[in-house]
Structure 1
Amino acid sequence: MKNKAAIIVAGGKGLRMCGPIAKQYLPVAGLPVLMHTLAVFNRVVPAIDLILVLPASDFPYWEELCAEYKFTLPHRVVSGGNSRFQSVRNGLEALTTEAILVAIHDGVRPFVSDQVILESFVEAERTGSAVAVVALKDSIRKLRDDGKSFFEERQYFRLVQTPQTFQVEKIKKAFKVTELQQFTDDATVYENQGWQVTLIPGNVENIKITTPEDMAYAEFIALRKLADR
């Protein structure tokens, strides 16, 4: 029974990539970014129900890519919305009744580790949620409206990644509310119900590919992973 699901959100237009093709479709180590992302979830949880959320206008192009790269990994494609919140909600509505746990993941984070995925499901089953985070390496300062800045203790802060994994019943309830500006990710939607999120260690290679510089680093990571196998 497919009691675990993953919603891979890939609705971006790639404007910061400054190119004609959205970042999720660009090749890294010979394969489009999205295919790397889908493959890691399928490898870690072979029976997982994979839901890919794309702009409806991209459906034909995705079909072409799947044919070109002979990508036959089982997944379902769902139409996205006008915002990430709406796209995730569409993905949640597409879940089967068997799904108990769901990981929500950025399509342009193809290097999430196996361990992070596995731990996210274990922790979400235990506490209701699991949000991958990493510690900051650099010093940070807080800016004020008057232009002044102040030192902050970095040990009290974390960089938030995906997957953000939840018990399906709870996250579906959380997404039934009206979208708010404060909803920057799925964890903030979950917290809006008054529930505390559980943090788990992420992995530093789990970058979000956004700029051309990210693509160069992604190529390095992908080739290193291939060499290590």
Structure 2
Amino acid sequence: MKKYAIIVAGGSGTRMGAPMPKQYLEIGGKPILMHTIFRFFEAEPDIQLILVIPEKDFQLWKDLCLQFSFTVPHRLVSGGNSRFQSVRNGLDTLTDLDGLVAIHDGVRPFVNVDVIQESFEVANRKGSAIAVVALKDSIRRLTDDGKSVYQERQYFRLVQTPQTFQIQKIKKAFDVTELHTFTDDATVYEHQGWQVTLIAGNLENIKITTPEDMAYAAYLFNM
């Protein structure tokens, strides 16, 4: 069964306050995106990699690949106006309906190889595999009247990527009108009435969004 990964990196990086979008910033001696792509190549050497970025960034990315001698095979797909549209653009390039596809945030370079491999194994059996981690802090829910209510954290999980699916099912799921409730790929899948399957992610698999995240990422690379 063929395996694909759609790496989505369409952010503008406004919260980072950097001169270029965060996915192209360097950590550990190369741009974040290159670390992310290599994790999937390392986990599944025969994987077909699809990188979804804004079309205006194509030349910048090609220049970076030359600058850093980055040769992991992948193809570029133009992103959309939202993450939903960018993922759908990536899915539209897949014609092998019997395969599996992992959808992953481009700015999560610390995903464990074991998590990637397990996501494909579980999705093959169950239809989907969503990486999550348990909460460590206490949580409270805000009510409409300005109060807060204690919630038992053991009933909640923090959702990460990869989110991996059987291609035929996830393509059908994305063949709908975008809704504001689609916060990730799992919610799009659930919209069809299908239950998602959760797998254990890894705590280091942070989404690099702010300068503080960059500092922590540098620490992780130097551990």
TM-score band w.r.t. shorter chain: over 0.9
Which amino acid in 2 is paired with 1:66?
A: C
Letter in 1 for 2:105: D
1:189 is aligned to 188
Q: Which residue of 2 aligns with 1:81?
A: 80
- What does the per-residue CA deviation read over 1:184-225, in whole Å, with 9 as the maximum and x for residues that have no partner? 00000000000000000000000000000000110111222x
Matches of residues 27-106 of structure 1 in structure 2 within 5 Å?
27-97=26-96, 100-106=99-105
SS in 2 for 1:17: coil
State the TM-score, normalizing by the size of structure 2. Answer: 0.98
In 2: Cα distance, 1:97 partner to 1:185 partner: 23
Aligned to 1:126: 125
Amino acid at match of 1:53: V
Output the CA distance in 1 between the equivalents of 2:28 and 2:194. Answer: 40
Q: Is it true that 1:201 corresponds to 2:193 in the alignment?
A: no
Please, what TM-score do these two structures have when normalized by structure 1? 0.96
Amino acid at match of 2:49: L
Q: Does the aligned pair in 2 maintain the 1:11–1:80 contact within 8 Å?
A: yes
What CA deviation, in whole Å up to 9, does each residue of 1:114-168 have, x standing for no partner?
Answer: 1100100000000000000000000000001211001000000000000000000
1:97 positional shift: 2.3
- The aligned residue for residue 178 of structure 2 is 179
> 5+ unaligned residues in a row in structure 2: which ranges?
none
Alignment pair present for 1:136 and 2:107: no
Structure 1, residues 45-83: CA drift from partner, whole Å, max 9, x if none? Answer: 000000000000100100110011011110000000000
Q: Aligned equivalents of 2:5 and 2:182: distance in 1?
A: 20
Compute the displacement of 1:96 (Å): 4.1
Q: Which residue of 2 aligns with 1:227?
A: none
Q: How big is the shift at 1:20?
A: 1.3
Question: In structure 2, what is the Cα distance between the partners aligned to 1:99 and 1:37?
Answer: 25
Instruction: Say whether the 8 Å CA contact 2:4–2:49 is kept in structure 1.
Output: yes
Q: Which ranges in structure 1 are unaligned for 5 or more consecutive residues?
A: 225-229
Cα distance in 2 between the residues matched to 1:42 and 1:215: 23
Contact 2:97–2:167 at 8 Å: present in 1 too?
Answer: no
Structure 1 residue runs of 4 or more that deviate by more than 3 Å after TM superposition: none
Partners of 1:20 and 1:204 lie apart in 2 by 28
Matched residues, number: 223
Q: How far has the Cα of 1:12 moved from its partner? A: 0.2
**Sequence identity, in percent?**
69
Cα distance in 2 between the residues matched to 1:52 and 1:162: 15
Q: CA RMSD in A?
A: 1.0
3-state secondary structure, aligned to 1:183 = coil
Instruction: Give CA-to-partner distance per residue, 1:70-105, whole Å, 9 cap, x none.
Output: 111100000000000000000001124276000000
SS at match of 2:181: coil
SS in 1 for 2:222: helix
Partner-residue secondary structure (3-state), 1:124? helix
Kindly indicate whether the alpha-carbon contact (under 8 Å) linking 2:52 and 2:86 is maintained by their aligned counterparts in 1.
Answer: yes
